[in-house]
Amino acid sequence: MGVQWVASHRAAMVSPYGGLSFTKPRGGFTGRTVRQVVHLHRGGPELRVWLSNQFGSGPLRIGEAWAGRHLGGGRVADGQARLTFGGSESVEIVPGTEVVSDLTGLEVPDDSELAISLHVVEDSGLATNHPEALQTGYVTPGNTASLPEPGLAEEITSLYWIKGVDLRLERSEDEPLVAAFGDSLTDGSGTTPGAHQRYPDHLSRRLGLPVLNLGIGGNRLLHNGFGPAGLLRFQPDVLSVPGLTHVIIALGINDLGLPAMLGEPGAGAEEMIAGFTTLARLAREAGVVPIGATLPPYAGTVSSGYHCESGDRVRAAVNDWIRRTPEYHACLDIDAAVRDPERPDHFHPDLHCGDGLHPNDEGARAMAHAIDLAAFRVPRTGR
């Protein structure tokens, strides 16, 4: 048992320039306050916040930053704390970099929401962001960062600049810290916004420990598009997390569906298996236990052209490998958890959000229950 930094929230950032996104990139935050909400699976008495200007075209200047327990509707509980950076109340983040705040005393409970308010003196052009936050944020004119209520505010649904929150906690050597790495099925598309019903949320409640969500909607294993390819972002997004013990790798369906929609050749089973093998070996080299996740059924998707029979044959071959390979410590069998027993290439009608591809709240719950929690034991030879 020792006191250390434990990641309680992470978000995978994407570039607003030159890539695909489900949301319109934006800037225009100069002279305004952006109050954003993140969900913490684990609470504690002290925290720090990571801010990223990884993809900015200019410096991001924050005049004040505050954090407090979110009460709903942008309201913050009494006792919110000012964030400082190297002892300064303001910070400038140059393009391509990130900063972390100083240790800040702020008591937050487990399974709670944290509001982080940033007064933007100068924005960085189009903002580094996580497109689908599934949380409402609030933008107000002027400096309202320290106020308990935002007042009349513009609502936003993407997460800007906030890459993560760490808690300073006592942690035993056998306590797991899990990252869920994937696409929209991990990110939570189709689940109820603001209700914390993504499969990593359900898995966190099963474990009683944080499960960090590093999903990006539309993300692919092998190619850039909706965010950097999984092979490229695995190291900076996942393996940089302090104290990480396990990672669930749940990518691949977009490597089949998106090319089909665009009239391009889809990925083959061999190249996908090679990509998954690379990720598994990178994880083990870093002392992190890799867990594979099967690709979901998608024949019933409403997205025109996304499904094709050749893609389904690749999916079957890849899933067979994921279930059997020794490269993974265990398997989260998403396919088995959500498929329709009457039509196994389709999502169960009670478990998708209406589009035949993304789980609803119950589907996300079924995904989280599709693995034995014994898979998350920390091996004696692990980290």
CATH code assigned at 369: 3.40.50.1110
Q: What is the pLDDT of residues 200-237, one digit of tens each?
A: 999 999 999 999 999 999 999 999 989 999 999 999 99
Question: Into how many domains does the chain fold?
Answer: 2
Per-residue pLDDT, 170: 85
Domain boundary among 132, 166, 200: 166
Burial profile 67-76: b = 16 or more Cβ within 10 angstroms, e = fewer: bbbbeeebbb
* 311 and 246 share one domain: yes
* 199 and 337 share one domain: yes
Domain range enclosing 209: 172-376
Residues 6+ away with beta carbon under 8 Å from 114? 9, 37, 38, 39, 40, 47, 67, 68, 69, 70, 108, 165
Per-residue pLDDT, 262: 87
Per-residue pLDDT, 187: 98
* 360 and 308 share one domain: yes
Residues lower than pLDDT 50 in the chain: 382-383
- Token pair belonging to 105: 């005393």
Domain boundary among 107, 132, 166: 166
Per-residue pLDDT, 383: 38
Residue 260 lies in a domain: yes
Residues 6+ away with beta carbon under 8 Å from 348? 338, 339, 340, 341, 363
Per-residue pLDDT, 382: 41
* 27 and 161 share one domain: yes
Per-residue pLDDT, 25: 67
* 162 and 253 share one domain: no
* 88 and 179 share one domain: no
Residue 381 lies in a domain: no
* 276 and 333 share one domain: yes
- Token pair belonging to 379: 């091996």
* 185 and 298 share one domain: yes
Give dist(CA 52, CA 94) in Å, integer: 9
* 198 and 300 share one domain: yes
Per-residue pLDDT, 225: 87
* 83 and 53 share one domain: yes
Residue 383 lies in a domain: no
Give dist(CA 296, CA 50) in Å, integer: 33
Domain boundary among 112, 142, 166: 166
Please report how many Cα atoms fall inside a 13 Å half-sphere around the Cα of residue 124, on the Cβ side.
29
Residue 3 lies in a domain: no
pTM attached to this predicted model: 0.95
Q: What is the pLDDT of residues 31-86, one digit of tens each?
A: 999 999 999 999 999 999 999 999 999 999 999 999 999 999 999 999 999 999 99
Residue 288 lies in a domain: yes
